Amino acid sequence: MSDLNRPELYINRELSWLQFNSRVLCQSQKESNPLLEKLKFIAIYSTNLDEFYMIRVAGLQELYSARVPTTGQDKMTPKEQLAAIHSYIADEKSILERNYKDIVSKLKSTNLHILGYNELNEELKKSADEFFYENIFPVIIPIAVDATHPFPPLNNLSLSLAVKLQDNEDSQITKFAMIRIPRLLPRFVNIGNGIYITLDSLVREHADDIFPGYDILAATTFRVTRNADIVIEEEEADDFMEILEQGLRRRKKGAFVRLEIEKNCDKALLDFLILHLDIDEEDIYDYDIPLNLSALWNIISNKEFSHLNAPMFQPRSLPPFNKDGSIFKILDRQDVMIMQPFESFDPVVSFIQSAAKDPKVLSIRMTLYRVGKNSPIVQALIDAANNGKQVTAMVELKARFDEENNLIWAKALEESGAHVIYGIPGFKVHAKIAQVIRKSNDKLKIYLHFSTGNYNETTAKIYTDISYFTSRSEFRADSITFFHILTGFSKNKKLNNLKMSPFQMKESLLDMIKMEREKKSSGRIIAKMNSLVDADVIKALYKASNEGVEIDLIIRGICCLKPGIKGASENIRVKSIIGKYLEHSRIFYFKNQTPGTFISSADWMPRNLEKRFELMIPIYDEELSSKIKDLLNLQINDNELSWELQSDDSYKIIERDKDTKSIDSQTYLESYINKIYKANTKNTEINRQTKIKKIFK
């Protein structure tokens, strides 16, 4: 077997992520997508790129400054990675500009217009002017920059105008100034009749009124990105909530890592910004389309133009959760699995709400990683605590970009009398588990919910995830031990049936891959996840492939494994599915294990397997296990939403022959759920566990 440590066997993590975001951008030019659906993917692409720069690029810049030689198995230096990233984004910029312009042009025929102020006719300009003086002028912040007026602090991802001024009484006097545009203002201003104008073009038109007595020589819109990572010395913290709040305040003052600016802006203005922002020219991107396209959501969500979006699917409540009755009695009889967002998230909410109200429930424990701003689940926990039940909530305050929201909920839970844990020093708690302890016939019974996704009713409508409800005795002791590890001091590092990281999940995965490898040509692995980065797992998969194990990987985002390499990965295939729903579930199948199917909160990345508390749950129920295998096979055969990773690191969209049946896995699942729902509303007996492949015969 060849050396599996060779750098050429591994794809760089950051470049793989950029390719994922490119696949998102490609959805904005997919002919079958409605126009606002295309615009939605541009908004997602832009939001993704913002976070990538705030965290990943910022981190590489710090590593480069610290002279760290290499960061991954591919052995690229931070300097090489930064250069490759700059080149990649610069090249892709033209695709973004072209796609955006094409969509905006086609939207005009639907009477939806996105314009600059100068594109308006006189009547519309008058309406825009009125809007400016009524709603914008009072809150605009003009800022002089000179010896007595320092360059102002700029918020991360904030939009501003830089202005070059000339005294209209003395043409020899030139000054520089800025106009800060508050975030509370809409990026795209709706002036009625389906007409939106860019806010910065409206502000620029009235710059003379903002700086009276000066002529505007030049003006340019710009947007800054700061390093948004938070480093917290947890071991030194007496009050973790206080130190996190301090970290959030520091985030607003992180170093500038990117400058976005209008194309062909005045050179003196650009030099002015470079001087004060202290930013490298490689991190400056000029665009001839509006900046901050992540703000397109206020156009996309306009209900008057909902027909320009992809058809909305109504998530369904299926048997046994579609009828009145105790959810605990249902779980006494059977395990239940639901597939989000095709099935409703309501049973998850009902599980906690029922526990909060049930007088027989003594205790509720759960982990909260990313919850909604108006979470009915957290409110139910508060109600339960107020009702005198024992409530324990592990609120992960280090969930990136959800820290402030989680702080609010943690305080509210504490005030209700719940026992709140903020995290584990040195680790994040990313496991998704809820435990309800209920007294029944003078005995305590434990009911559990596990998930591959968050307890968030908003993302549950757009992320594909698996929810699993059970009262199986196999998980009783493990669930108790898991929460004891989180809340107390424990040297117990292993569970029996559940597998937990950072102590045993990686070892278990490696053992299962090895067992498939020992079976050689009869070995079979199918794994679906968001990202595959861990080098030890990749090497194990390479070894299994060399022994004849057939391996299919469905990886939406980052994949550092190279398929199709002779002597390493000839039996490995990797595909990525990009559709209207975000593929988020982690599901694994190992043919020679008993049981062989698993769901998990963890991707196969070092951070998940070594630096987070995660859970991997075996599915003992044969019908549910079979359904999971059907789901994996459906996605393997998807030929409408799929991209295949090539051995040269590129992704190729899978194009089916005219004679090949179309398989869009997300549309299939919508139809599958609808068929069961309609059959049951007509009192036709179709078991909810009916196999996917039977539904579509």
Question: Rounded to an integer, what distance in angstroms lies between the CA atom of residue 555 and that of residue 576?
Answer: 5
Please, which residues have CB within 8 angstroms of residue 492's CB and are 6 or more apart in sequence?
481, 484, 485
Task: Name the residue with tokens 């965290």.
Answer: 55
Q: What is the DSSP letter of 53?
A: I
Q: CA–CA distance from 63 to each of 54, 67, 607, 632 (Å)? A: 14, 6, 18, 39
Give the sign of the dihedral formed by CA 292, CA 295, CA 300, CA 304: negative
Are β-strands 419-421 and 390-395 bridged in parallel, bridged antiparallel, or unpaired? parallel
Task: Give yes or no for a contact between 462 and 341, defined as CB atoms under 8 angstroms apart.
Answer: yes
Q: CA–CA distance from 444 to each of 291, 343, 436, 473 (Å)? A: 58, 30, 10, 12
The SS3 of residue 426 is: coil
Token readout for 52 is 């990538």
- The b/e string for 167-200 (b: 16+ C-beta within 10 A; e otherwise) is eeeeeeeebbbbbbbeeeeebbbebeebbbbbbb
Which residue type is seen at 191? Answer: I
The SS3 of residue 536 is: helix
Question: Rounded to an integer, what distance in angstroms lies between the CA atom of residue 359 and that of residue 370?
Answer: 29
Question: Rounded to an integer, what distance in angstroms lies between the CA atom of residue 37 and that of residue 310?
Answer: 6
Catalytic annotation on 484?
Answer: no
Strand order across the beta sheet in which 113-115 lies: 113-115, 195-198, 188-190
Please, which residues have CB within 8 angstroms of residue 601's CB and are 6 or more apart in sequence?
430, 431, 432, 451, 452, 586, 614, 615
Question: Rounded to an integer, what distance in angstroms lies between the CA atom of residue 252 and that of residue 227?
Answer: 9
Which residue type is seen at 337? Answer: M
Query: 149, 419, 430, 484: which one is catalytic?
Result: 430
Cα dihedral value 212, 217, 220, 224, nearest 10:
-70
- The b/e string for 540-554 (b: 16+ C-beta within 10 A; e otherwise) is bbbbbbbbebbbbbb
Q: CA–CA distance from 130 to each of 31, 123, 124, 125 (Å)? A: 39, 11, 10, 9
Q: What is the largest CA-CA distance in the chain?
A: 92
Q: CA–CA distance from 658 to each of 579, 620, 638, 662, 664 (Å)? A: 21, 40, 15, 9, 15
Catalytically active residues are 430
